[in-house]
Amino acid sequence: MSAVNKAFVQRMVEVIQNQHQLEQMTDFFEPNFINHLDHDPASPLTSVEKAQQSFRQLFSAFPDLRVTIEHQVAEGDTVMTHKRFYGTHLGSFMGTAPSGKSISFGVIDVLRLEHGKIVEHWAIQDRLALMQEVGLLPS
């Protein structure tokens, strides 16, 4: 099962994060998956809709955004993926005008799957590096 889950997460990264096909998120995520990064639990949007909104903002700011999987480990129903995001700051991001700068930041995702879909998500994101690269914070 672990190998199947790893392949599923690899497909999700390719389709959603690299090809930017947000309309296919329900192929990978249960609509109300538990996103432990959710900062607005009172929102009327489903977890998938909130995730789509977040990705739209990223893809608007970094239209060439690409993700590479650097490490991946799976055990049972859980997959941990260490990824690196790359792109060019060509759109507004968190109120910062496009800089044209290249960005690169790391993310560790932990995903729990049930019945072939993601039902729970945790992440550690190097937001400090991203904010420094786009000029929101000094290096």
Residue spans per domain, the chain = 2-134
Predicted TM-score (pTM) of the model is 0.93
pLDDT of residue 40: 75
Confidence band of 136 (pLDDT split at 50, 70, 90): confident
- The answer, yes or no, to whether residue 39 has pLDDT greater than 80, is no
Across the chain, what does the average pLDDT equal? 94
pLDDT of residue 43: 84
Q: How far is C-alpha 105 from the chain's CA centre?
A: 12
CATH annotation of 2-134: 3.10.450.50
Beta bridge mates, 115: none
Token pair in block for residue 119: 């039902």
| End-to-end alpha carbon distance in the chain | 43
Enumerate residues 6+ apart whose C-beta is below 8 A from 51.
25, 29, 35
Token pair in block for residue 121: 């998500």
Residue percentage of the chain with pLDDT more than 90:
81
